[in-house]
């Protein structure tokens, strides 16, 4: 692997960059000017501080510290230097004769005065009354991920980030305080620089892909109703507020962050399928055992030639390993920022290139961001934000079913080699009596889907200070998206059980979306006398989106050479769709503080949405919160070991408006009628209109405590919450006399309650610095009501057409549902006395007779067999610094959840039509050779064995070393010789180093890409492993430079 990295073009490019850096810092220094001041700015815990504004008081002279906390500034004797950054007390120093001034800033009550960006404003941490957590850019560095959603893993209590797929450019699944919906989705709302994004999570894409992770300044997670109610009908699942980097006053500062590396799929967790010799023997033994069960002996004539002599084969072809490879990854970000007293700017340019570990898949992204802000006079401020993003992704048909290209790499015949005797790829993989398909390498290379996407996110704003403390702000934002996809399937690919040549065909999609947001805000921030302070926000917002989509499927191409659609002879199908939605809102919030000890927050928002039924267009979402800073009381001020103590409580309402744009309306379709003895075309209604359909509403109670001890070297946050979601989208059955079978209504109630704990410690503050951040969250999910009769909801679909999940009152959402395995029928006596299926024989699978009727049958003998919901999730981050070295270690974990490995329906299929898991080698062969007692004979009951059962359920508990990063900061004196490099840091990191779990698969965070069967969302079918794109281990080497 290291040889691969060293020989790669990315590594050579990186080595050249490092060599140039070393050459530059080795150039002999030129004598320093007398009043060139330099030094390092750090704090008492996390070491070097990046982005500290260093300026000469009263003069237009300033700069910012580099990635290693270094600064250099031209000054005069007697000048006063100011060192300032959010979250720390400003420090001023008068310049004397010393040319080196190192500064250590003190955290302002452990960041209590730190300004946190929240919904429609900002607030000092000490004044917050809600359950809000934030992380900054420094905490996110060194994590080599395509999307910033993956960087949240293990960082914030109550936020579950699951890397469900390793698809290049794919997203992570995020749940804040559990899943509260069965029909409208559970994704949080993402707000980027005040703009709410409209997209939702997808394992193949993420709405956050339009953002370069290096552009992020902070991410704030709003968890309770007090903080999310300001987003009204969109805040029920929590809100992630993302703030990008903006310019700071000072001389222009250039930063370059680049890394290169490679990805590989760990060996642990790879499917263990039969090799060629074992599979041939397995197929031969199936026939031998079948004859023996009938008292006969099989001859060579009864055994197909392919399997007659297993000893002729060796290991054969491991198709799963064949489609995987070691893949490079590269990222570069270049930024320029600075500003004067009146104008500040920040420009960044980013390039990300990720090859997938599945061959012929990849993702490339090009990003630009420009943030400019100017003051006009003393009262007016205007700004411009522009962020275009362009990406190209190559994906394929995976995570889609048992015939997709990745899944069939498991069951294809291992007897067939990748290439034939001439060295060309074997076009079609087939052996006697097996399912057959085209070579998966051909499907990956020639049948890939190319997805291109452009997003242009931009906005302008203006702010006017009417009187001191009273400001009016107007903004207008636009997000224009344009995307397309194209796949051409040439004749050489063939299909499942359909050898090539096949008829060439293609599919093309095109779409564009325009989303605009207009806002007017009025804010008033005033301290009234000595003891009182208020902050008021009033606002009006309007947002609208229009999406246009076109899909064209073409077929009967004359050859594989010309691929545009106009070369096709037929257009068998097409689809065109245009959708719009709009939302109009009024909002208000007031924060009141008395003596900085007693804090009150009241919030209200009214939303009118086009998505709601005509009788329920508007909804109102209020909330209230109270906090008491007990540490400011006289009786606690003198407790030496108590630095801070705040008690919080909040209650409020928020909604989930992801109900579909036209769900409340009646759908119309084309229908033929008999009229006058002939056929006439017309229209008919296919669904029933519901003018009362509205948002899902969540009410949430939160009680929390924030405490600091021993000079804030130990900080603790604890929360208890209880969230009730009611009025869920429910597809309810109605009497057939209505002319319809179902109608979408608001029904049901779900509860999520739990505890969250976060601890931050400054363990060693000296030359060797060590800090720790830990969090743990316990969530319990329970269905309180479903419909009028509280009938269970059965969802999912196994290969045999059975349900896989059940949602019922009194239980969590989406429990696993299937047969309960009791072993195998060990002998004739066991068989005779036990309930059985009509196909059961001695040695076949033995299931529990749940309904007690003496007969084993699908569904009637199904029971709850597992729970995908973890008992708790946790994260642990340790950071060490010693002189120029720094080391960060991030661990994440989950305990108690289970996984339904539905891939076992084909990798343990004992019909002989697929290659299978090695567990079949230990199956029941006879009374004298009973195997492991749970893997049955191949002689009977094969169909019910491959139906959903408790043997598919495995523990999903795990601990993962999420990231280890080691960095080295170059000595400032060496960098001074270059005359232009102010900071340099080299680092190496490993992402997804190791996962410790009892799960037999590769990824215990797995989830199916799309819901199966009758399920409308994956919320009803969670925890299902149907063979996902593998999550890779990533090694990177990087450098951070500032100039």
User: Is 267 within 8 Å of 1032 (Cβ atoms)?
Assistant: no
User: Is 125 within 8 Å of 113 (Cβ atoms)?
Assistant: yes
- pLDDT class of 106 with cuts at 50, 70, 90: confident
- pLDDT class of 76 with cuts at 50, 70, 90: confident
- pLDDT class of 27 with cuts at 50, 70, 90: very low
Checking if the pLDDT of 18 tops 90, the result is no
Checking if the pLDDT of 198 tops 90, the result is no
Q: Is residue 307 part of a domain?
A: yes
| Confidence (pLDDT) at 163 | 86
| Confidence (pLDDT) at 426 | 96
Q: Three-class SS of residue 922?
A: helix
User: Is 924 within 8 Å of 930 (Cβ atoms)?
Assistant: yes
- The mean per-residue pLDDT over the stretch 904-927 comes to 94
| Confidence (pLDDT) at 766 | 78
Q: What is the Cα–Cα distance from 166 to 175, expressed in whole angstroms?
A: 18
Residue burial 326-356, b: 16+ Cβ < 10 Å; e: rest:
bbbbbbbbbbbbbbeeeebbbbbebebbbbb
Q: What is each CA distance from 346 to 55, 247, 334, 372, 385, in whole angstroms?
A: 18, 5, 11, 7, 10
Q: Is residue 283 part of a domain?
A: yes
Q: What is the Cα–Cα distance from 1038 to 990, expressed in whole angstroms?
A: 11
Question: pLDDT tens across 631-684, in order?
Answer: 999 899 888 899 899 999 999 999 988 888 888 888 888 888 877 778 888 888
Residue range(s) defining the domain that contains residue 294? 276-314
Question: pLDDT tens across 257-289, in order?
Answer: 999 999 999 999 999 999 999 999 999 999 999
Q: Three-class SS of residue 734?
A: coil
406-410, 706-710, 1006-1010: least confidently modelled range: 1006-1010
- pLDDT class of 10 with cuts at 50, 70, 90: low
Q: What is each CA distance from 55 to 79, 104, 253, 343, 377, in whole angstroms?
A: 10, 16, 14, 16, 22
Across all residues in the chain, what is the average pLDDT?
Answer: 89
Q: What is the Cα–Cα distance from 995 to 770, expressed in whole angstroms?
A: 24
| Confidence (pLDDT) at 25 | 45
Question: pLDDT tens across 495-550, in order?
Answer: 999 999 999 999 999 999 999 999 999 999 999 989 999 999 999 999 999 999 99
Q: Is residue 285 part of a domain?
A: yes
Q: Is residue 302 part of a domain?
A: yes
| Confidence (pLDDT) at 108 | 57
Domain count, the chain: 1
Checking if the pLDDT of 26 tops 70, the result is no
Q: Is residue 309 part of a domain?
A: yes
Question: pLDDT tens across 762-780, in order?
Answer: 998 878 999 999 999 999 9
Question: pLDDT tens across 385-395, in order?
Answer: 999 999 999 99
CA 28 to the chain's CA centroid: 49
Question: pLDDT tens across 869-902, in order?
Answer: 999 999 999 999 998 899 999 999 999 999 999 9
Question: pLDDT tens across 938-960, in order?
Answer: 999 999 999 999 999 999 999 99
Terminal-to-terminal C-alpha distance of the chain: 34
Helix residue ranges, H only, 781-903: 828-833
Instruction: Give the rounded percent of residues in the chain with a pLDDT score beyond 90.
Output: 64
| Confidence (pLDDT) at 29 | 36
| Confidence (pLDDT) at 700 | 95
Question: pLDDT tens across 726-763, in order?
Answer: 988 877 777 777 777 778 888 889 999 999 999 999 99
In the structure encoding, which two tokens stand for residue 146, read together? 């395509």
65-69, 586-590, 809-813: least confidently modelled range: 65-69
User: Is 803 within 8 Å of 899 (Cβ atoms)?
Assistant: no
| Confidence (pLDDT) at 24 | 46
385: β partners: 371, 459
In the structure encoding, which two tokens stand for residue 947, read together? 């139906």
Q: Is residue 750 part of a domain?
A: no
Q: What is the Cβ-side half-sphere exposure of residue 290, based on CA atoms within 13 angstroms?
A: 17
Checking if the pLDDT of 981 tops 90, the result is no
Stronger pLDDT, 150 or 30, i.e. the higher one: 150
Dihedrals phi, psi of 262, to nearest 5 degrees: -145, 160
| Confidence (pLDDT) at 2 | 43
| Confidence (pLDDT) at 44 | 61
- The mean per-residue pLDDT over the stretch 29-54 comes to 70
Checking if the pLDDT of 153 tops 60, the result is yes
Question: pLDDT tens across 314-336, in order?
Answer: 999 999 999 999 999 999 999 99
In the structure encoding, which two tokens stand for residue 147, read together? 């999307």
Q: Three-class SS of residue 727?
A: coil
Q: Is residue 301 part of a domain?
A: yes
| Confidence (pLDDT) at 11 | 54
| Confidence (pLDDT) at 85 | 79
| Confidence (pLDDT) at 737 | 72
Cα 76–Cα 78–Cα 84 angle in degrees, nearest 5:
85
Dihedrals phi, psi of 907, to nearest 5 degrees: -80, -10
Question: pLDDT tens across 350-397, in order?
Answer: 999 999 999 999 999 999 999 999 999 999 999 999 999 999 999 998
Q: What is the Cα–Cα distance from 581 to 603, expressed in whole angstroms?
A: 25
Q: Is residue 304 part of a domain?
A: yes
């Amino acid at each position: 692997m290291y040889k691969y990295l060293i020989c790669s073009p990315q590594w050579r490019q990186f080595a050249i960059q490092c060599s140039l850096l070393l050459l530059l810092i080795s150039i002999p220094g030129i004598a320093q000017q007398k009043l060139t001041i330099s030094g390092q700015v750090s704090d008492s815990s996390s070491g070097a501080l990046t982005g500290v504004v260093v300026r000469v008081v009263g003069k237009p002279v300033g700069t910012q510290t580099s990635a290693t906390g270094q600064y250099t500034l031209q000054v005069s004797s007697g000048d006063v230097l100011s060192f300032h950054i959010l979250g720390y007390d400003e420090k001023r120093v008068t310049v004397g004769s010393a040319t080196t001034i190192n500064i250590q800033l003190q955290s302002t009550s452990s960041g209590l005065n730190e300004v946190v960006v929240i919904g429609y404003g900002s607030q000092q941490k000490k004044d917050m009354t809600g359950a809000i957590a934030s992380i900054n850019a420094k905490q996110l560095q060194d994590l080599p991920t395509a999307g910033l959603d993956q960087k949240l893993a293990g960082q914030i209590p109550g936020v579950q980030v699951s890397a469900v797929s390793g698809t290049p450019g794919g997203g992570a699944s995020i749940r804040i305080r559990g899943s509260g919906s069965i029909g409208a989705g559970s994704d949080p709302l993402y707000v980027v620089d005040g703009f709410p994004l409209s997209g939702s999570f997808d394992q193949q894409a993420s709405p956050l892909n339009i953002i370069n992770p290096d552009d992020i300044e902070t991410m704030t997670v709003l968890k309770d109703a007090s903080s999310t109610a300001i987003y009204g009908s969109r805040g029920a699942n929590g809100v992630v507020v993302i703030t990008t980097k903006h310019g700071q006053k000072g001389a222009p500062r250039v930063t370059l962050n680049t890394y290169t590396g490679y990805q590989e799929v760990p060996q642990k967790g790879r499917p263990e399928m039969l090799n060629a010799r074992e599979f041939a023997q397995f197929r031969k033994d199936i026939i031998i055992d079948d004859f023996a069960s009938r008292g006969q002996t099989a001859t060579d004539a009864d055994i197909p030639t392919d399997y007659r002599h297993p000893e002729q084969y060796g290991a054969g072809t491991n198709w799963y390993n064949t489609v995987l490879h070691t893949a490079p990854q590269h990222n570069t970000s270049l930024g320029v920022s600075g500003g004067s007293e009146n104008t500040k700017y920040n420009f960044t340019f980013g390039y990300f290139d990720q090859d997938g570990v599945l061959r012929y898949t990849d993702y490339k992204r090009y990003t630009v961001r420009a943030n400019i802000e100017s003051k006009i006079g003393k009262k007016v401020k205007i700004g411009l934000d522009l962020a275009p993003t362009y990406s190209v992704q190559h994906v394929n048909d995976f995570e889609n079913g048992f015939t997709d290209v990745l899944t069939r790499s498991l069951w294809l015949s291992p007897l067939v080699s990748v290439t034939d005797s001439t060295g060309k790829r074997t076009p079609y993989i087939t052996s006697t009596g097996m399912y057959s398909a085209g070579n998966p390498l051909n499907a990956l290379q020639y049948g890939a889907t190319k997805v291109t996407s452009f997003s242009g996110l931009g906005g302008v704003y203006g702010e006017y200070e009417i009187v001191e403390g009273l400001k009016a702000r107007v903004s207008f934002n636009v997000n224009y998206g344009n995307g397309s996809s194209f796949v051409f399937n040439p004749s050489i690919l063939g299909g499942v059980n359909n050898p090539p040549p096949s008829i060439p065909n293609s599919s093309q999609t095109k779409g564009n979306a325009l989303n605009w947001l207009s806002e007017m805000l009025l804010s008033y921030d005033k301290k009234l006398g000595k003891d009182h302070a208020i902050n008021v926000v009033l606002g009006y917002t309007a947002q609208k989106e229009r999406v246009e989509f076109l899909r064209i499927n073409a077929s009967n191409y004359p050859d594989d050479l010309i691929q545009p659609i106009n070369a096709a002879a037929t257009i068998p199908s097409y689809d065109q769709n245009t959708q719009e939605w709009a939302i109009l809102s009024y909002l208000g919030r007031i924060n009141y503080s008395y003596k900085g000890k007693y804090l009150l927050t009241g919030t209200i928002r009214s939303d009118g949405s086009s998505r709601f039924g005509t009788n329920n267009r508007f909804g109102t979402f209020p909330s209230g919160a109270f906090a008491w800073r007990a540490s400011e009381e006289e009786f606690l001020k003198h407790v030496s070991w108590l630095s801070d103590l705040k008690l919080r409580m909040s209650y409020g309402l928020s909604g989930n408006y992801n109900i579909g744009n036209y769900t409340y309306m009646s759908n119309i379709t084309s229908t033929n009628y008999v009229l006058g003895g002939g056929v006439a075309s017309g229209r008919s209604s296919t669904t029933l209109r519901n003018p009362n359909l509205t948002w899902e509403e969540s009410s949430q109670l939160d009680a929390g405590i924030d405490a600091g001890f021993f000079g804030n070297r130990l900080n603790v946050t604890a929360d208890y919450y209880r969230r009730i979601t009611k009025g869920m989208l429910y597809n309810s059955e109605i009497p057939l006399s209505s002319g319809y079978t179902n109608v979408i209504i608001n029904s049901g109630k779900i509860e999520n309650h739990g505890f969250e704990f976060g601890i931050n410690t400054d363990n060693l503050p000296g030359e060797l610095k060590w800090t720790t951040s830990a969090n743990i969250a316990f969530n319990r999910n329970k269905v309180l009501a479903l419909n009028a009769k509280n009938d269970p909801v059965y969802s999912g679909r196994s290969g045999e057409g059975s349900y896989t999940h059940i949602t019922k009152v009194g239980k969590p959402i989406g429990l696993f549902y299937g047969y309960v395995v009791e072993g195998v029928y060990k002998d004739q006596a066991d068989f005779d006395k036990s309930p059985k299926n009509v196909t059961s024989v001695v040695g076949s699978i033995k299931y529990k007779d749940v309904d007690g009727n003496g007969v084993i049958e699908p569904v009637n003998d199904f029971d709850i067999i597992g729970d995908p919901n973890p008992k708790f999730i946790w994260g642990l981050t340790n950071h060490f610094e010693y002189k120029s070295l720094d080391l960060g270690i991030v661990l994440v974990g989950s305990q108690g959840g289970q996984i339904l490995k539905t891939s076992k329906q084909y990798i343990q299929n004992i019909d002989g039509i697929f290659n299978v898991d090695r567990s079949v080698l230990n199956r029941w062969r006879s009374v004298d050779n009973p195997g492991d007692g749970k893997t049955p004979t191949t002689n009977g009951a094969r169909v019910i064995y491959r139906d959903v059962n408790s043997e598919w359920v495995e523990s999903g508990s795990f601990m993962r070393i999420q990231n280890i990063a080691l960095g080295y900061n170059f000595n400032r004196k060496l960098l001074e010789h270059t005359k232009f490099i102010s900071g340099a840091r080299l680092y190496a990191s490993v992402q997804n180093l190791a996962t410790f779990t009892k799960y037999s698969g590769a990824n215990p965070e797995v989830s199916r890409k799309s819901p199966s069967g009758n399920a409308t969302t994956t919320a009803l079918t969670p925890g299902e492993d149907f063979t996902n794109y593998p999550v890779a281990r990533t090694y990177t080497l990087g450098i951070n430079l500032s100039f």
